[in-house]
Structures are given as structure tokens and as C-alpha cells.
């Protein structure tokens, strides 16, 4: 029983949830077309667009297409043009550069096995655009890329990587202005499934947050132990950290230097978290039964599990639901990104990115 429970939880945390007894395509029984509905506009042609980031020129989004959860399937990074609302390619140069970032002893990845998950794109204090990608492609790693604006448009140059210690399952990453990063460790893969399931059902902490710096490597952030840390972001000054605790049903705020928790708000099964230019937090919340509902039979179109998008003030941690959705054109949102009055959402299981215009 414990093993079965944990296997189900694995499929709910990041990629494949779907109702067994409700509307079409929760069981994969019928396709859902790419028509707008309920104020939500879909843009199809993607494969599991699990995470999103805004490009520096604000003209496009970077999209992380995740492989099937826990199978380490290859995925890719794409662009989504905000003018044409069309997906497009972004070239990646995988050749080892002369100047590398990350850990000196981290080997280059196998490009064909690249399996992106959480991403974060920042402009560092030295003016360089740095993209960080959680990669499950044959290893658990955080990959460093430099985003470059060349004569033919945006392109990515692989710059290095860092391998967390032990045998972790990492999920999301947040870049720091000094070139370091924070990454969520959901649980240790070397722990037997039955033991992890027992820990979860008993309310025992299974994961934490790592901080990586070039001079010190990985350091466990004090006070970050909890039930499946998932999405993560940091304040503009890099002093406050915000972490979604998926199985703890909350988003927590803590001081990066001391680990002291400074606030939280309740939210059901929070996945990714982003912060906009006004300092507001945006959380994708799953509103399904994580034990009995899965997306495993959805083979085309979206999975239609209900979700909410929650907005919160990063200073006060007061939250409000801005969108509640149950049905077409998309379910199981894993990320919400606020751009100029619109919320863009992706999903770890499905074929579309969607947008929703916020009311005035």
C-alpha cells in the first residue's frame, strides 16, 4: 500500500494528474481543441510546457518542455513570441566554452538526453543574462547557460553545471545576482519508496533547499526542511526566499541568511512560483485529489484537472485567488507568469500554453 501511495504521489507532484470520473480528457477519452473559453486563450503546439520565464526584451517567453515525470525523457527549451503567439526554436551551443561557470569538476551533459524541468532567467550583477535549468537527463544537475543576443536573435551557450550531493530529486531553481543559485530538493532518491511514503503520510520532512556558490559548492539552507519543497523564487535583493511546499499545502517565506521563517500563506498543492516586477508572487495551485486522480491516460491535448492561480504580496504574504478553473481549455497549470496585465500558464502534462487577461 505504501509503495502504491508513493508511486501515485510521484506522478502528482510534477507531471501527470487527471480525474477518473469527470469531464472529457480527464481520462483521455476525447480530445480538447485549441479554442478559447472562460476568458482563457490557448496556444497549442507544445509538449509539457512545465515552466516559463520572461525574456530580457519582454517580447517572448522561454518555455521549458519537460519529459514525462520520473522517466528522464528528453525535452527541450523553446521560445514563445508574445506578438505572434507562436512557438519557435532557440539555438543551443553545447560546445564546452573557454570560460566555464558552475563546478569545475562537473562534466558536460549529453545534449540528446537533455531533460529540462524548472528554469530561472536573470540578469546578473555583471550584466550577463544567465539561464539556470534543472536537468534530469541522465543525472540530477543544474545547467548554466548564457543567453546571448546575436545577429540572428537570441541563442543559448552552455556554460557549465553543478551536481547536488547525494542522490536527490531536484525540482526548481532560483538564480542569485552573484552567479549562485538556490534549488529545491524534494526527496532523496536513494531512500526506499516505502520509507518516503511513510514519511509523507506521517507528516515528516522529505526535502529542503540547497544554495550553491562557486567558492563553497552546495550548502543546505537552514530552516528549509519541509514536505516536498517544489517551486522557488527570491526577492529582488536576494535576501528573502519563497518556497512552495507541495505536500504541506503552503508557501513559506524565510530569510536567506538566517533561515528564520517570516511568514506563510495556505495554498493547496502549490507547484511553481514566480515574482513579477511589482514584487507580487504568483502561484499555480492544484485542486485535485493527489491520491486518486492522475493524468496517465491523457495522451493528447490537455489534462483538465482543476487549478487556481493565487496572487500574494511578498511583503505581507496576504494572498487572493485571481483565477479558478475547472474544465477546458486547459487544466493542471504548473506555472503562472504575470506579463503586462496577462497571466501566462503552462502545464507539465499537455500540449498548450494559455493566457488570461486580468480584470482592470
Give the tens place of pLDDT for each residue, 235-289. 999 999 999 999 999 999 999 999 999 999 999 999 999 999 999 999 999 999 8
What's the pTM?
0.91
| φ, ψ at 188 (rounded to 5°) | -95, 120
With contact defined as beta carbons under 8 Å apart, do 210 and 53 qualify?
Answer: no
Q: What angle do CA 234, 235, 241 make, to 5 degrees?
A: 45
CA distance linking residue 59 with residue 295, whole number of Å: 32
Give the tens place of pLDDT for each residue, 294-343. 777 788 899 999 999 999 999 999 999 999 999 999 999 999 999 999 99
DSSP annotation of 71: T
Burial (CB count within 10 angstroms: exposed 0-12, middle 13-18, buried 19+), residue 292:
exposed
Length of the chain: 360
Burial (CB count within 10 angstroms: exposed 0-12, middle 13-18, buried 19+), residue 192:
exposed
Among residues of the chain, what percentage have pLDDT more than 70? 91
pLDDT at residue 156 is higher than 90: yes
Residues 17-44: what's their mean pLDDT?
Answer: 68
Give the tens place of pLDDT for each residue, 173-203. 999 999 999 999 999 988 887 787 788 788 9
pLDDT at residue 1 is higher than 50: no
Extents of the domains making up the chain: 44-278+334-357
Confidence of residue 231 (pLDDT cuts 50, 70, 90): very high
With contact defined as beta carbons under 8 Å apart, do 65 and 78 qualify?
Answer: yes
Topology of the domain comprising 44-278+334-357:
Neuraminidase (2.120.10)
CA distance linking residue 86 with residue 95, whole number of Å: 28
Specify the pLDDT at position 291. Answer: 66
C-alpha cell at 317: 504574504
| φ, ψ at 261 (rounded to 5°) | -75, 130
Specify the pLDDT at position 252. Answer: 98
Higher pLDDT among residues 150 and 51, named by residue? 51
If you average pLDDT over each of 5-19, 204-218, 292-306, which comes out highest? 204-218
pLDDT at residue 21 is higher than 50: no
Amino acid at each position: 500500500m505504501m509503495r502504491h501511495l508513493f508511486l501515485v504521489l510521484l506522478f502528482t507532484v510534477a507531471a501527470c494528474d487527471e480525474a477518473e470520473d469527470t469531464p472529457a480528457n480527464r481520462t483521455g477519452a476525447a480530445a480538447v481543441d485549441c479554442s478559447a473559453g472562460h476568458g482563457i486563450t490557448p496556444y497549442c503546439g507544445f509538449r509539457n510546457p512545465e515552466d516559463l520565464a520572461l525574456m530580457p526584451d519582454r517580447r517572448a517567453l522561454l518555455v521549458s518542455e519537460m519529459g514525462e515525470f520520473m522517466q528522464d525523457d528528453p525535452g527541450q527549451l523553446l521560445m514563445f513570441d508574445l506578438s505572434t503567439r507562436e512557438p519557435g526554436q532557440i539555438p543551443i551551443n553545447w560546445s564546452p566554452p573557454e570560460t566555464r561557470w558552475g563546478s569545475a569538476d562537473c562534466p558536460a551533459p549529453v545534449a540528446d538526453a537533455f531533460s529540462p524541468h524548472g528554469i530561472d532567467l536573470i540578469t546578473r550583477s555583471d550584466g550577463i543574462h544567465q539561464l539556470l535549468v534543472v536537468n534530469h537527463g541522465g543525472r540530477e544537475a543544474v545547467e548554466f547557460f548564457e543567453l546571448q543576443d546575436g545577429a540572428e536573435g537570441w541563442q543559448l551557450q552552455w556554460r557549465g553545471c553543478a551536481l547536488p550531493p547525494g542522490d536527490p530529486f531536484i525540482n526548481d531553481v532560483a538564480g542569485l545576482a552573484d552567479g549562485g543559485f538556490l534549488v529545491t530538493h524534494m526527496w532523496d532518491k536513494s531512500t526506499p519508496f516505502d520509507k518516503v511514503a511513510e514519511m509523507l503520510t506521517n507528516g515528516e520532512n522529505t526535502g529542503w533547499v540547497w544554495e550553491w556558490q562557486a567558492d563553497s559548492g552546495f550548502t543546505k539552507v537552514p530552516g528549509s526542511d519541509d514536505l516536498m519543497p517544489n517551486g522557488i523564487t527570491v526577492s529582488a535583493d536576494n535576501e528573502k526566499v519563497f518556497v512552495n511546499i507541495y505536500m504541506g499545502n503552503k508557501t513559506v517565506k524565510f530569510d536567506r541568511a538566517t533561515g528564520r521563517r517570516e511568514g506563510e500563506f495556505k495554498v493547496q498543492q502549490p507547484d511553481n512560483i514566480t515574482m513579477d516586477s511589482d514584487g507580487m508572487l504568483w502561484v499555480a495551485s492544484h485542486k485535485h485529489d493527489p491520491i486518486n486522480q492522475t493524468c496517465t491516460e491523457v495522451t493528447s491535448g490537455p489534462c483538465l484537472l482543476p487549478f487556481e492561480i493565487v496572487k500574494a504580496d511578498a511583503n505581507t504574504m496576504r494572498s487572493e485567488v485571481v483565477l479558478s478553473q475547472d474544465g477546458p481549455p486547459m487544466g493542471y497549470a504548473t506555472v503562472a507568469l504575470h506579463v503586462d496585465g496577462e497571466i501566462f500558464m503552462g502545464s507539465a502534462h499537455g500540449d498548450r500554453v494559455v493566457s488570461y487577461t486580468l480584470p482592470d
